[in-house]
Amino acid sequence: MAPPKSDDASQALKPEMKPAPPRSSADSTIAKPTPDGMGSETSKSLYAWDTTTAGVYGQFIKPVAINESKFRLVDQLYEVTEIIGAPNSLNLFIIYDEILNNLLPAFQSPELSKQQNEIQKWLLKKVKAQPWIIKLLETQQSRHSLQKKAPQGAASALSKPTFAISNKLTEEKKINHLELSTALYEEYLYAKQIWELETLAHTTAVRQAQLVSKWGDAIVRGYYHNVREYMGYMDIKSASEALQDAKDSLREAAMSSLDGAMKVYPVQLSPIDWFEGLSTSFTMEDLTENSEVIKQQIDVKSQQLDMLNAQLAALIGNIKGNVQELKQKVDAAQGNLDTAQVKLASNYTNNMVSMAKTCINAAGQLNRPQLDIIGVRFGFAKSIIDDLASGLQVTATANDNLTKAA
């Protein structure tokens, strides 16, 4: 029998997938689950667990509830926009399952199927076994029986496989090409193993010649290369089988959720402690504040830092002076500041003082025109604005004096 043509085989090896015919409106309707909120917000408490002792098998020992929360998180689908408020009520695995069940594999090439049938007939064709072949098969059958009875520790408790070569001779003493090829190749491997053990892996010329003879039997009498060539044409996974494997894998990976309302699939997110990045020290005010205001605050903090560094340098340099006198100056400056702050707080409400402080620039100076505009807008008398500005100025002066004294 001639081997299959390469052109026919190459065409058959190309799996083709085509979408199923359009379904009716009733068939194509998908029940969209209503989001229950779990997993939709990235709260650290939903996904956190102890990963310090997880090790390399951490993905397999995490709590069931955590795995379900992670699945609910990644299963949500979102519209492709810059800002999105919520998922679009579609689920990744539901869509994937729908796609799998809407694919129809194309039938493989009729020519390839015809060639495979011819190959199968040849591989299973019975041929009369010569006496030495019958003796070889009986020897192998006896060898397998001894191996099955020999104890091998824990493995002896397991049932040994039954090899098809050992007892496949028919009453007419016939054997097919596939079994004959396997028997002769096994005999070659067994002889090679025994002879290498006998000679400590140094095969003599005579043993080498006998080994070559065994290999020749496997090649010529056992059709070794022919069988392997034909098996290459038989062992071809069709598009239908590949599609069925994908369906089986999806079905076997599914687990029931804790409440039994949905299917949950295993999810692995890396790194294993990814949920640590869900917490941050930033506040909402930090993220929404004007960038110019942040720059001004940085400038003020830098000036304060320079002043503190200067004070530290002065202390390190052991500047001589009357400690008691310096302490009295600091106490006096602190008392003046406390008095000014108390007077300001007693004359005006906290909201009004806070409103007036918004008119102080980064350098700590009061922007009087801006304060006057605010006073007119809210209907405050000019005398009240003047007293408020004066109180703020006194407080700022007292604060500066305290800083210098310190």
Are 165 and 145 a contacting pair, CB within 8 Å? no
* Residue among 152, 150, 178 nearest 163 (CA): 178
Residue among 37, 52, 47 at smallest CA distance from 69: 47
pTM above 0.85, yes or no: no
CA dist., res. 335 & res. 341, Å (int): 10
Domain ranges of the chain: 31-107+240-278, 110-149+162-234, 321-405
Per-residue pLDDT of the chain (406 residues), as tens digits, is 444 443 443 333 333 444 444 433 333 333 333 334 433 457 778 888 888 777 777 667 788 888 888 888 888 888 888 877 778 888 888 899 999 999 888 887 888 888 888 999 998 888 888 888 888 888 887 877 666 565 555 444 444 444 444 456 666 788 888 888 888 888 888 888 877 776 655 557 777 788 888 888 888 888 889 888 888 888 888 888 889 999 999 888 888 888 888 888 888 887 888 888 787 777 766 777 777 888 888 899 999 999 999 888 877 776 666 767 778 888 888 888 888 888 888 888 888 888 888 887 777 778 888 888 888 888 888 888 888 888 888 888 888 888 877 6
Four-CA torsion 234, 239, 244, 249, nearest 10 degrees: 100
Burial annotation 114-123 (CB, 10 A radius, 16+ → b, else e): ebbebbeebb
